[in-house]
Structure 1
Amino acid sequence: MEPSTPLCLRLATWQRARTLARLIREAEDLWHVDVKDLRRLGALELGQLLHEVPTGLRPRVNRWLKGYGAKTRMH
């Protein structure tokens, strides 16, 4: 299967959305740690990730975030 086929492109988009949602959820988990520096790191990581999510991918990332039980949502 060529990398440019519609199925491969859809799979790549799906994987990217899932990965971004997982990273956002992991950054959220750092907020619940009692160590101040880890909370700060989690906030920085989450802020960076939110800026990296392409606008067209945000609805898919939101679906994954909802599935992971994350509180963050893309606007």
Structure 2
Amino acid sequence: MKDRKLLTNLLKSRYLHAMGSVMDISPVGDYRDHLPQGSVQARLDSYWKATGSYLEAALEEHGKTPQHAE
């Protein structure tokens, strides 16, 4: 009897979980504001420019630190 009740509760919780997953298919909010703007080429170009500036800053910072001779 106890096992049957446990199984019933498990099935109910899975059923409720599945219902929640179905509801996520058509969300209430509008997510279009979070989509990237601009063309793929323009976005990649800006990413590479940012990467170049990060590398340049890292190389400049590396040149300022004392080098240890081994």
Name the TM tier (shorter chain).
Answer: 0.3 to 0.5
TM-score, with length taken from structure 1:
0.38
TM-score, with length taken from structure 2:
0.40
Rg larger in 1 or in 2?
2
Q: Which structure dedicates a bigger proportion of its chain to helix? A: 1
